[in-house]
């Protein structure tokens, strides 16, 4: 059973939820699934040797990504004879042979920040849903609210804890980290970064010297923008941004953190809140129906437009050890039942159902 996976995020956004979810999928596949991986360039050195790689060079621009999604990926579907395309975002080809499945793992993009080619890409993606065989959705979240067919699958988190990963020592990098820190692993649009720093400014004066804010998953230009904005906000000494990391290093960063700060919506798959729960870390996040269902009593949730309250919640979690321990334990209990193996088995069954239909 040949399945083609869109590997764009593995090359250009390797620490994003989309990339981490795709890595988790590949690691969980049972033997009866033959993965074919479409890549727009050379993959990172830590990418495990899973499946057959099809490398077709494309630059990291909105126009090139539009061409990738609407021409390159459909051509690979025809050439490889893959039965399905599995993507981790809803940017699907308009004219794709066969059907497509989406397990959405991308942060929502603000239309006000999109240029012409990005808007055109989103418009084409809307048309591409005609070939959609269905949405793949975690069974611990509310319904996606779409009339398209939805397949419920067991949730899981990837990367696993660093002590559970069979890491290649060559790529088991360990970034230079402060003794204690707050982790940010969220969206990187201009408005997102400003919202983050608005909330962080309420906490930084009290805890920033002891617990600086460490951001991961930002592309280089966006990481530089975060640091420039931090200077603008007068927070420069309390904010850091790390370069792209291997999965083992990401797990290490989560395990070393004091808390996850996520004043944004959580993607259905591969998101930082789910990862923090799996690593037994307290979470302070923006409240939403999706996040509330995911965390239950295992996080401190605040309205996302209340910067002062988000900052105050973070201070509370960092200074009140008993509360932090209770949140961490509750998160670990929720994540204990998550299984990559169960996900992989149900995913293979879903592939067969869609193909046979």
Cα-to-chain-centroid distance, residue 84: 22
Same domain, 12 and 103: yes
CATH number (domain holding residue 267): 3.40.50.2000
Angle at 337 between CA 180 and CA 245, to 5 degrees: 40
Same domain, 174 and 131: no
Same domain, 136 and 172: no
Same domain, 327 and 344: no
Same domain, 45 and 151: yes
Q: Would you state the pLDDT for residue 169? A: 44
Q: Would you state the pLDDT for residue 98? A: 63
Same domain, 174 and 67: no
Whether residue 241 contacts residue 275, with contact meaning beta carbons closer than 8 Å, is answered with: no
Report the distance separating Cα 268 and Cα 114, nearest Å.
22
Three-state secondary structure of the chain = CEEEEECHHHHHCCCCHHHHHHHHHHHHCCCCCEEEEEECCCCCCCCCCCCEEEECCCCCCHHHHHHHHHHHHHHHHHHHCCCEEEECCCCCCCCCCCEEEECCCCCCCCHHHCCHHHHHHHHHHHHHHHHEEEEEEECCCCCCCCCCCEEEECCCCCCCCHHHCCCCHHHCCCCCCCCCCEEECCCCCHHHHHHHHHHHHHHHHHHCCCCCEEECCCCHHHHHHHHHHHHHCCCHHHEEECCCCCHHHHHHHHHHCCEEEECCCCCCCCCHHHHHHHCCCCEEEECCHHHHHHHCCCCEEECCCCHHHHHHHHHHHHHCHHHHHHHHHHHHHHHCCCCHHHHHHHHHHHHHHHHHC
Residue 90 buriedness (CB in 10 A; 0-12 / 13-18 / 19+): middle
Range of the domain at 305: 162-335
CA distances from 81 to 49, 74, 330 (A): 21, 11, 45
**How many structural domains are present in the chain?**
2
Report the distance separating Cα 181 and Cα 257, nearest Å.
5
Q: Would you state the pLDDT for residue 97? A: 54
This prediction's pTM: 0.93
Query: Tens of pLDDT along the chain (357 residues)?
Result: 999 999 999 999 999 999 999 999 999 999 999 999 999 999 999 998 989 999 999 999 989 999 998 899 999 999 999 999 999 987 777 666 568 899 999 987 755 556 665 766 665 556 545 667 789 999 999 998 777 789 999 999 999 876 666 544 444 578 889 999 999 999 999 999 999 999 999 999 999 999 999 999 999 999 999 999 999 999 999 999 999 999 999 999 999 999 999 999 999 999 999 999 999 999 999 999 999 999 999 999 998 789 999 999 999 999 999 999 999 999 999 999 999 999 999 999 999 999 987
Same domain, 151 and 13: yes
Same domain, 104 and 169: no
Same domain, 175 and 206: yes
Whether residue 113 contacts residue 96, with contact meaning beta carbons closer than 8 Å, is answered with: no
Same domain, 186 and 304: yes
The order of strands in the sheet holding 283-286 is: 239-241, 213-215, 182-184, 259-262, 283-286, 300-302
Same domain, 204 and 265: yes
Whether residue 161 contacts residue 251, with contact meaning beta carbons closer than 8 Å, is answered with: yes
Same domain, 173 and 297: yes
Whether residue 26 contacts residue 43, with contact meaning beta carbons closer than 8 Å, is answered with: no
């Amino acid at each position: 059973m040949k399945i083609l996976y869109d590997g764009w995020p593995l090359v250009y956004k390797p620490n994003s939820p989309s990339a981490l979810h795709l890595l988790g999928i590949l690691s969980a596949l049972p033997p009866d699934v033959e993965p074919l991986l479409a890549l727009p360039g050379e993959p990172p050195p830590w990418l495990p040797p899973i499946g057959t790689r099809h490398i077709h060079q494309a630059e990291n621009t909105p126009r090139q990504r539009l061409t990738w999604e609407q021409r390159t990926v459909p051509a690979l579907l025809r050439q490889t004879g893959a039965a399905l395309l599995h993507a981790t975002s809803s940017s699907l080809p308009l004219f794709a042979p066969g059907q497509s499945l989406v397990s959405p793992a991308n942060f929502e993009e603000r239309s006000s920040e999109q240029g012409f080619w990005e808007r055109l890409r989103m418009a084409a993606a809307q048309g591409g849903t005609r070939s959609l065989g269905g949405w793949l959705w975690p069974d611990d979240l509310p319904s996606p609210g779409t009339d398209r067919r939805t397949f419920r699958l067991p949730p899981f988190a990837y990367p696993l804890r660093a002590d559970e990963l069979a890491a290649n020592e060559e790529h088991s990098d360990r970034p230079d980290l402060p003794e204690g820190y707050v982790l940010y692993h969220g969206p990187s649009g201009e408005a997102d970064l400003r919202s983050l720093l608005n909330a962080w400014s309420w906490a930084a004066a009290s805890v920033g010297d002891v617990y600086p804010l460490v951001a991961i998953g930002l592309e280089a230009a966006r990481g530089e923008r975060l640091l420039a904005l931090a200077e603008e906000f007068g927070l420069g000494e309390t904010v850091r941004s790390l370069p792209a990391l291997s999965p083992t290093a990401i797990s290490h960063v989560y395990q070393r953190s004091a808390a996850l700060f996520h004043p944004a919506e959580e993607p259905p798959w591969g998101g930082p809140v789910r990862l923090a729960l799996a690593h037994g870390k307290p979470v302070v996040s923006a409240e939403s129906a999706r996040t509330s269902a995911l965390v239950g009593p295992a996080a401190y949730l605040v309205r996302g437009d209340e910067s002062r309250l988000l900052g105050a919640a973070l201070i509370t979690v960092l200074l009140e050890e008993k509360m932090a321990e209770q949140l961490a334990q509750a998160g670990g209990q929720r994540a204990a039942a998550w299984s990559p193996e169960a996900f992989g088995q149900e995913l293979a069954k879903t592939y067969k159902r869609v193909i046979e239909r």
